Amino acid sequence: MKEFRFSDNIIVKRKKLGMTQGDVATYIGVSGSAVSKWEQGLSYPDLTLLPKLASLFHITIDELLGYEPQLTTNKIMETYHIFSKRLNKEHFETVQKDVENMIKEYYSCFPLLVRISQFYINHYSYSQNPQRVLDRIIELCERVVALSDDYKLIQEAQTIYATTLLIMNKPQELLKNVGSEVPIQFGVEKLIAKAYAMLKNHDKVKEILQINAFQHLFSMVSSEIEFLKYASDNQNLFDKMINRLEKVIDLYNIEKLNSHIKLTFYYQASLGYMKQHRHTDALCMLERFYHTCKYLSFPMKISGDDYFYTVDNWIEQNINAGPYAPRNDQVIKEDLINMIKKELLFVPLHKDPKFKLIINNLERIFQSK
C-alpha cells in the first residue's frame, strides 16, 4: 500500500478551491498553525475532524488520506505474477509473509482475495505446511462469498473453495456446499444474442455466439478427458473416446487455443492404456505429449485463432486470471516432466528405451526454453 498522502492532498484541494490555510482553519475550527503543520506533514488532524475536512473538499475520507482500499485488476495480476516468479528463487514461506501482509492491507479487496486463493491453490505443495495453506484458502473464499456482492467473483471463490475441499479429501462437504446434481444450462447466452439481433447489432451477435461456443467446446472436451480416467475398464468405450477426442482436438486446433488441454488428453490417454496393459499405445501417447511440449510457447496462455476470432478481448476482460497460466513457467516445466517421470503407472516403462528418450527430450527442451 502506498503511504498516506494527506499533506499533499490537503494542499492540492485547498488551492483548487482558492482557499488559504486560514480559511481552512476557520471552517474546521482550528488554528492556522495547525493547518500549516498538516500540510508540512508534521502532524495529523484529530480523527473527529476528518469527516468535516472531507466534506469541505467534496471527497471521501479515503481520498483525503490518499488511502486506496481497492486494487485494479491489472495491479492484482501484476502482483500475482511477481509472487509466482519469486517462488523460483525463494522459499514458499518467505513469499507467503509478503502475501499475507498484502492481504492485511487490502482485506476488503475481494478480487485480490480470490486471486491470492488461486495463488495458494496452485502453489500450496511448495509449503512446509500445505494443510495450513489449504485452510487459509477456505478462510479467504468464505470471506468473499459472505461479503462480496459480485456474482462472478463469488462463483470463482466457490469453485476454488470446492477444489480445495477435494484436495483436502472432503467430498461429502463439497457435495453439501455445491450440490450433488448437474444443473440445467438454460442457454441465456443465446437469448442475449437474439436481443442484440433485434437491435441490429450483428457484430455483437457473432461475438456472443462464438464466445459461447468457445466455452462449451472446452467444457465438453475437458469433461470427456476427465471421463477417460474412469473409462479404462471398458476398452471399447475407451477407444471410441480416444478416437473422437483426437478428431475434435485436431478439428478445432485446440493446441493453438489451449495447449494444456491437449497435453492433459495425451497424459490421461497414456494412463488409461497403462491400466489396460497396452504399453505400446501408452508410449505412442507419451511421444505425442512430448511433441506437443516441444512446440509450447511460454508463458502459456488461452487465446483465440482465425476461427475463434472474437474471444481474445473477452478473455482479457472476463477471466480474472487473464489469458496466461496462473503458475510461473519454471513450475509448469517441472510439473510436465514430473507428471511423466514420477507417475507410478509408468514404472513398467522405465527400462524401455523409448520412455527414457521421452524423459531425456523433455528435460532437454525445457532447459533450452
pLDDT digits (tens, 9 = 90+) for 235-268: 999 999 999 999 999 999 999 999 999 999 999 9
**Hey, what's the cell of 32?**
492556522
Examine the pLDDT at 287 and tell me if it is beyond 80.
yes
Asked if 86 and 32 count as a contact pair (C-beta separation under 8 A), the reply is no
Closest C-alpha among 59, 42, 41 to residue 50: 59
Higher pLDDT, 323 or 59: 59
Placement of cell 497460466 in the chain: 325
Closest C-alpha among 76, 19, 87, 103 to residue 53: 19
Per-residue model confidence (pLDDT) at position 197: 97
Phi first, then psi, for residue 324 (nearest 5°) are -90, 155
Per-residue model confidence (pLDDT) at position 318: 75
Distance spanning both ends of the chain, measured CA to CA = 35
DSSP label at residue 83: H
Examine the pLDDT at 3 and tell me if it is beyond 60.
no
For residues 276-287, give the mean pLDDT.
Answer: 98
Asked if 72 and 79 count as a contact pair (C-beta separation under 8 A), the reply is no
Phi first, then psi, for residue 301 (nearest 5°) are -150, 160
Among 33-37, 70-74, 287-291, the least confident range: 70-74
Closest C-alpha among 357, 368, 351 to residue 294: 368
Question: Virtual CA dihedral for 359, 365, 368, 369, nearest 10 degrees?
Answer: -120
- Provide the CB-side half-sphere exposure for 352 (13 A, CA): 16
For residues 106-125, give the mean pLDDT.
Answer: 94
Per-residue model confidence (pLDDT) at position 322: 63
Closest C-alpha among 54, 72, 74, 71 to residue 63: 54
**Hey, what's the cell of 93?**
514461506
Number of residues in the chain: 369
Closest C-alpha among 222, 223, 291 to residue 261: 222
Higher pLDDT, 323 or 278: 278
**C-alpha to C-alpha distance for 327 and 87, rounded to whole angstroms:** 10
For residues 363-368, give the mean pLDDT.
Answer: 90
pLDDT digits (tens, 9 = 90+) for 196-228: 999 999 999 999 999 999 999 999 999 999 999
Q: How many CB atoms lie within 10 A of CB 163?
A: 16
Instruction: Indicate the average pLDDT of the chain.
Output: 92
> Which residues touch 296 (CB under 8 Å, ≥6 apart)?
259, 369
Examine the pLDDT at 182 and tell me if it is beyond 90.
no
Max CA distance (Å), the chain = 88
